[in-house]
Amino acid sequence: MEMKRILSRLALSAGVFLALLGGTEVVLRAQGYGAIPSVWFDPEVGTRFHPGQTRQILAAGGVFMHSAEINELGFRGHLPDPALDGDGGLRVVCLGDSFTFGWGVEDGETYPVQLEEALADLVTARAAGDTGSSGPRSSAVDVEVLNVGLPGYNTWQEHRLYEKLVRPMKPDVVVLGWYLNDLDPLSYGVTGTLAPLDHPLAGTALLDYWVRKLRKRAPRFEFEGFDQEGAQEIKPYYDQNRPLVEHNSGHPQARPYVERNLADLGALLDDLKADGVTPVLAIFPSVGQVDALKLARADKPAAEYAADLAIIARIQRDLTEFVAPRGVTVVDLLEPFMDSEVRPYGEVDQSHPSVHGYSLGAGKVLEALATGGLLDR
């Protein structure tokens, strides 16, 4: 009898609690809450887009730039084609941050989309016997390029994303986008509150109210498996000296950030190689690197320019030398961006590439895939 009374009270309490939640939901919906938040926090990898939405992309100051269609996996662009699973064709996955996502340009102008179009043209030409620079193929091969770039991500996060969502896609090639802010020990996306319920509660007024009104006041969840304490120890110097760390990676104070990132990069590349995936490292330069080196090249003697190049582009050399023993193809976009007659960065958001800049990236990745024999599989 005592157990029955306890169970009865628990059931009554649960009923009252659910009734209060239901009533609160009704009241909040009457006040206009209930929209699906644009992002949710996945403790395994970080901030991700809610699937199946049109995302409005804004520049600094809330200036609208463009919209982005988010697919059912929470990424920009089309879903994997099941016909290309296994030996059905060539699947290239572009893994990276906002540069891979295509921040600043329309859906059809991102570098993965431009790469897919150019890659399909190349494969078709080769199947038709047009040798070009790559040699003939005996038959056509279906190809696709998937965009799994998420703004704010860095190498540590991208490794987790590969393990969770990209590996099941069984890619043939992974093009890993790298950018200078990957050196930031905490640039892993904004941590979230109510993280375990962010995704399943999407669309409720309760979650919408939480996101809009209460989230910033509450403690934040941390990433699973991430050395948060170690990162926080070296974070303050990075915040105070970011230009030095990013543009003088050989400086003794910058080395902890470089070494930390190289360790993350090595772990990801080792996993790719172990899975039989061909990795390509695409290094995007910052607008600061490009502008400083273009000015030095134009105004300084060759020896002084070479000295500036050695300092400012040290990180490109660090990355190239690090991945060389692993046989990884490197696409360094610094020189193509510097040599471009058309400025490769956007006019509204000047820190991200323009359509032309993304086109340069797609062209150089395609060149690496073709001349390196990475399409001969």
Give me the CATH number covering residue 334: 3.40.50.1110
pLDDT band at 280 (very low <50, low <70, confident <90, very high): very high
Structural domain total, the chain: 1
pLDDT at 176: 98
Is residue 81 classed as helix, strand or coil in its secondary structure? coil
At residue 14, the pLDDT reads: 83
Using alpha carbons, list the distances in angstroms from residue 126 to 138, 253, 270, 368.
8, 50, 31, 16
pLDDT digits (tens, 9 = 90+) for 78-90: 999 998 887 778 9
* Rounded alpha-carbon distances, angstroms, from residue 287 to 143, 186, 344, 354: 32, 22, 9, 11
Predicted TM-score of the model (pTM): 0.88
Question: DSSP letter string over 176-228?
Answer: EEE-GGGG-TT-S----SSHHHHTTTTT-HHHHHIIIIIGGGS-----TT--H
Q: What is the DSSP letter of 346?
A: -
Tell me, what's the pLDDT at 219?
Answer: 62
More confidently predicted of 314 and 47:
314
Summarised one tens digit per residue, pLDDT across range 112-123 is 999 999 999 988
Is residue 193 assigned to a domain? no
User: Which residues lie below 8 Å from residue 296, measured CB to CB, with a gap of 6+?
Assistant: 304, 305, 308, 309
DSSP, collapsed to helix, strand or coil, labels residue 15 as helix
Strands 46-49 and 39-42: antiparallel
Share of the chain above pLDDT 70, in %: 92
Q: Is residue 42 part of a domain?
A: no
- pLDDT tier at 374 (50, 70, 90 boundaries)? low
d(CA 225, CA 215): 23
Rounded to an integer, the average pLDDT of 50-63 is 89
pLDDT at residue number 146: 98
329 forms bridges with which residues in the sheet? 280
| CA nearest to 357, candidates 270, 253, 287, 302 | 287
Portion of the chain with pLDDT greater than 90, in percent? 57
In a domain, 144, yes or no: yes
Is residue 337 classed as helix, strand or coil in its secondary structure?
helix
Is residue 253, in this structure, part of any structural domain at all?
yes
Among candidate residues 150, 190, 298, 178, the one with its CA nearest the CA of residue 249? 178
Lowest average pLDDT, out of 135-139, 199-203, 225-229, 264-268, goes to 135-139
The string of DSSP letters for 236-247 reads HHHHHSHHHHHH
How far apart CA 256 and CA 274 sit, in angstroms, is 27
What is residue 137's predicted lDDT score, i.e. its pLDDT?
A: 40
What letter would DSSP give residue 128? T
Split at pLDDT 50, 70, 90, the class of 105 is: very high
Question: For the residues 218-239, what does the mean pLDDT come to?
Answer: 77
Q: Is residue 351 domain-resident?
A: yes
Structural domain of 268: 75-188+224-371
For residue 148, being part of any structural domain is answered with yes
> How do residues 13-29 score in pLDDT, each as one tens digit?
888 888 888 898 888 88
- Asked if residue 161 is part of any domain, the answer here is yes
Tens digits of residue pLDDT in 285-300: 999 999 999 999 999 9
Reduce the DSSP state of residue 152 to 3 states and report it: coil
Report the pLDDT value the prediction gives residue 136, as an integer from 0 to 100: 40
Partnered with residue 57 across adjacent β-strands are 66
pLDDT band at 139 (very low <50, low <70, confident <90, very high): very low
- 38 within some domain: no
Mean pLDDT for the chain overall? 88
The band of 138, judged by pLDDT with boundaries at 50, 70 and 90, is very low
